[in-house]
A and B are shown apart, each in its own frame.
Chain A
Amino acid sequence: MDILVCVKQVPDPETKLRVAPSGKSFDTDGVKFTINNTYDEAMVEEALRMKEEFGFTALRVISVGPPRAEEALRSALAMGADEAVLVETPADLPLDPLLVARYIAAAAKDIPHDLVMVGRQAQDDEAGVVGSALGEYLDLPSYSFVTDLAPVPANHLLKMKRYVEGGEEVFSAPFPAVLSILKGAKDPRTPTLPNILKARKKPLKKIPAKDLEAKVSALQGGAKPTSDILAFTLPPPRAGAKMIEFQTPEEAAERLIKLLKEEARVL
């Protein structure tokens, strides 16, 4: 029983964003990339729990990205993943989240997967598209916003809870499947130094994106993106709060409510 976790390398959330000269993306020049998207780290941890507690055997991680994305995969290997696959994309390859999902689906055809696990969304584009799209491309069911996960491997069944507006649903559903988890059972572990060293020797296979192009073209949507970013803009910096002067709590309340009604018009 095999698990495949999809990870993405993202810019450090503390990075000061600048618009690239093209005006269509952020400027990666001088940007520090964090090892992994936080949500993907949570997923690697949850996948490790599946191995440790529910008898899943192999944990592989996959990423679609430029050569530097190898760092993200090495970090997942240091957390405990067994093998990694990098679909290496040239810098000038136009991609959108659905096309990334098609590349993962194309590569996954040769990677065993009983569970495919995907972070809730990437911290940069916040699309949250890859998971359920992968379900479609791989012809598997998908379950998202899962808050509790307990597989029953003998029956190929997952007992789960998932977030819905206003509460949680307790449900069961079959696997193989694609899963996206809102919050894992445990905080992601920090790799130890010996494990970081060991991770350098774990197998990491690189597949040039063009080697998958024929398989990607065969999927609905084909080898070209279906969306195109026209502009990437930064809002003017926030001026900081308008501070309310007051002597008594009652006065603070009066002034605040008046501003919310008359100036902000949100009440």
Chain B
Amino acid sequence: MTLNVLVITDQREGHLKPSSLEAISEARSVVERSGGGSVTIGLIGSGLAEAQKEAKSQGVQRVLLADHESFKGFSAAAYAFAAERMAAKLSAPLAIFLPDTAMGRELAPRLGAKLGAGTATAVVEIQPGASGGLQIKRKVFGGKATETVNLLGTVVLSLRPNSFAIHPAPAGDPPVEPVEVGELPASAKGLAVERVISTRGDTPELTEAPIVVSGGRGLKTAENFVLVENLAKELGAAVGSSRAVVDAGWRPASYQVGQTGKIIAPQLYIACGISGAIQHLVGITNSRCIVAINKDPAAPIFKVADYGVAGDALTILPALTSLVARNKGA
């Protein structure tokens, strides 16, 4: 069974996001494991010259382009309309991959609905099905269980960031083909982005970062939170927090990890001075490796952690930071 995969990418400031590169790499791998087929990148947006260059170097067969002013702000209705036009250029059996970013999570179900496709979000594993289609795995119940789902016919998947490796792309020079999208439907019009507020500065985004360092009330004061940020900086990690830290006003809500904050799945999660309330654990249990640093050896966080340090984060954090800095220098 061969398979044609269309990857609709997510861009930031005109560049393909790492989660988009993961989706492309996995598309190449799934096509190979399906016994052949093709990978096509679908670029939708406005001002995509750089993204086009990046897409061309991904070892894919085609690049489809919908670069237009009307795609400047993300509208799921408009993007789904364009993606459907792109999908129509490819022959069955067809699968469409998106990164499970804010954009991908909204677009995938709409596109799935439009195409009558088997649809799954936050996918962590993809296998070609024995009788065609794809078999995927996804985590449910806050990471407490795994579903294996069979999707037949056309398939639309959003791939959870940090769950798929980026393998080196083979050489190639795929053609870039502009797609005539035509008049957008009424539901796809009228969205206007006024401005973007950057909340993270130069630090990586929580939901995308391979490493996340988080702080909780065990840090005692707002001033001490900088110890978490120092370690994160040395590791190139994103910074998160427990709800208590946000409620206390030490850091804004955008830092919060957990049920009412961000749900993340980094390769490495380091929880500092976080006891591990259920509402926090729901946001982190899908992490590959969890480290807990907490004074209280009976803290619930140690039950879900892989490695534990029963010590004061206020003294352990500076020691970790200087060790990581020294290792980098070596």
- Hey, which bits of chain A sit against chain B, CB under 8 A? 13-14, 17, 26, 38, 42, 97-98, 101, 123-133, 135-137, 139-145, 161-174, 180, 183, 220-222, 226-235, 238, 240-244, 246, 248-250, 252-254, 256-257, 259-260, 264, 266-267
Q: Which residues of A contact B50 (CB under 8 A)?
A: none
- Hey, which bits of chain B sit against chain A, CB under 8 A? 12, 17, 73-77, 80, 101-103, 105-110, 112-122, 135, 138-142, 144-153, 185, 187-200, 205, 207-208, 211, 235, 253-254, 259-261, 267-268, 278, 282, 288-292, 297, 302-311, 315-316, 318-320, 322-324, 327
Question: Shortest Cβ distance from B188 into chain A, in angstroms?
Answer: 7
Known: A133-B110, A142-B110, A249-B319. A166 touches B77 (CB 8 A): no
Which 9 A-B pairs have CB atoms at the shortest separation, nearest pair first? A241-B308, A249-B319, A241-B305, A136-B113, A221-B116, A253-B319, A231-B148, A173-B191, A133-B113
Could you say which of B73, B196, B207 contacts A168, with CB atoms under 8 Å apart? Answer: B196
Could you say which of A165, A173, A246 contacts B192, with CB atoms under 8 Å apart? Answer: A173
Question: Shortest Cβ distance from B88 into chain A, in angstroms?
Answer: 14
- What separation, in Å, do the CA atoms of A265 and B152 have in the docked complex? 36
A126 engages B140 (CB within 8 Å): yes
A135 engages B110 (CB within 8 Å): yes
B105 engages A144 (CB within 8 Å): yes
- What separation, in Å, do the CA atoms of A183 and B256 have in the docked complex? 12
Known: A142-B106, A183-B253, A227-B150. A242 touches B268 (CB 8 A): no
A170 engages B193 (CB within 8 Å): yes
- What separation, in Å, do the CA atoms of A112 and B152 have in the docked complex? 35
Q: Which residues of A contact B261 (CB under 8 A)?
A: 183
Known: A123-B142, A132-B109, A266-B268. A260 touches B291 (CB 8 A): yes
- What separation, in Å, do the CA atoms of A140 and B13 have in the docked complex? 28
- What separation, in Å, do the CA atoms of A99 and B192 have in the docked complex? 31
The majority secondary structure among interface residues of chain A is mixed
A144 engages B102 (CB within 8 Å): yes
Question: Shortest Cβ distance from A44 into chain B, in angstroms?
Answer: 15
A266 engages B289 (CB within 8 Å): yes
Task: Specify the chain B residue showing the minimal Cβ separation from A130.
Answer: B109
Interface centre among A167, A170, A231 (most CB of B within 10 A): A167
Could you say which of B121, B145, B194, B318 contacts A249, with CB atoms under 8 Å apart? Answer: B318
Known: A17-B141, A170-B193, A231-B148. A135 touches B77 (CB 8 A): yes
- What separation, in Å, do the CA atoms of A183 and B253 have in the docked complex? 10
B192 engages A171 (CB within 8 Å): yes
Q: Which residues of B contact A233 (CB under 8 A)?
A: 145-146, 148
Known: A164-B102, A168-B199, A246-B311. A133 touches B109 (CB 8 A): yes
Known: A136-B80, A173-B190, A252-B309. A232 touches B147 (CB 8 A): yes
Known: A235-B146, A257-B323. A141 touches B77 (CB 8 A): yes
